Amino acid sequence: MSGLLPDSLRGRWYNSPAFDPDDPWAGFAPHRTAVVLVDLINWQAHPDGFSSRTASGDYKTTRCADVVVPALSRVLPAARTAGAAIVHSRLASRAADYADIVPALREYVRAAGALEGRWAAEPLDGLHEPGDLLVTKSGSGAFGSSDLDQVLRNLGVRTVLYAGVVTDRCVLLTAAGGFDLGYEQYLLTDCTAATTAADQASAERLVSGYLARPATAAEAAGAFETS
């Protein structure tokens, strides 16, 4: 019947009919893949960072320490060995007066002292290695406020795996940008953190229902190791 979804697309994620509903890693090509770490930097996710001193920071930084970083300790080595790109996307300012940061976030970033080159803007210990790429964003979504799309296209990347904080904010908006740009996307659920457990669960449902296929760190590492 006209207007109905064809049977060939039923059960597939909206952003890419190439996804096989029976095999979520079918056709996975590590050399055309990037793991994008969103704001896994000191001011956002370190226990001594600015965010941990705010009312909503405690759950997020604890989850990062107890869940996210251990999960990434398996994914990142497997990805690097398989030839995937690792990209650290960081909300930080290149300007001493923070004028390059979007107005809604400018005072927040200023209060954190998140200037490029300072400790606040550096990736969490153990996540960055030589050969990884760094992009600096001026707003929430990395595709809309940095050169992430250009970097990925120059590398020939077509598939993106997302990790980072905050799941229902910067990770969500980055995945939304990648969706419209046509990337095949996965959300690494145990490599992300929101400000509450309820927000984490809600964000996973929202992102995985439309923008990106959900996956665990173990599943992603296995795909890198066997592809």
Q: Sheet of 213-215: strands edge to edge?
A: 133-137, 85-91, 33-38, 159-165, 184-193, 213-215
CA 43 to the chain's CA centroid: 16
Cα–Cα distance, 12 to 26 (Å, whole number)? 12
Tell me, what's the pLDDT at 1? 39
Determine, yes or no, domain membership for 145.
yes
CATH code, domain with 81? 3.40.50.850
Cα–Cα distance, 80 to 30 (Å, whole number)? 9
Determine, yes or no, domain membership for 25.
no
pLDDT in tens, the chain (227 residues): 345 655 555 544 545 544 566 778 888 999 999 999 999 999 999 999 998 877 566 899 999 999 999 999 999 999 999 999 999 999 999 999 999 999 999 999 999 999 999 999 999 999 999 999 999 999 999 999 999 999 999 999 999 999 999 999 999 999 999 999 999 999 999 999 999 999 999 999 999 888 999 999 999 999 999 98
CA 123 to the chain's CA centroid: 13
Determine, yes or no, domain membership for 187.
yes
132 is catalytic: no
Which of 64, 170, 191, 199 is catalytic? The answer is 170
- Report the SS3 class of residue 178: helix
Determine, yes or no, domain membership for 16.
no
60 is catalytic: no
Determine, yes or no, domain membership for 9.
no
Determine, yes or no, domain membership for 121.
yes
Domain that holds residue 185: 30-226
Determine, yes or no, domain membership for 196.
yes
> Tokens standing for 208?
């995985």
Closest CA to 116 of 88, 141, 144, 91: 91
- The count of structural domains within the chain is 1
Determine, yes or no, domain membership for 15.
no
Tell me, what's the pLDDT at 53? 79
Q: What are phi and psi of 6, to 5 degrees?
A: -60, 150
Which of 137, 190, 191, 199 is catalytic? The answer is 137
Output the DSSP codes for 20-39: BTTBTTTT--GGGEEEEEES
Tell me, what's the pLDDT at 145? 98
48 is catalytic: no
Can you tell me which residue has the tokens 């939304």? 176
Tell me, what's the pLDDT at 55? 58
Q: Name 169's Cβ contacts closer than 8 Å, sequence gap at least 6.
A: 140, 194
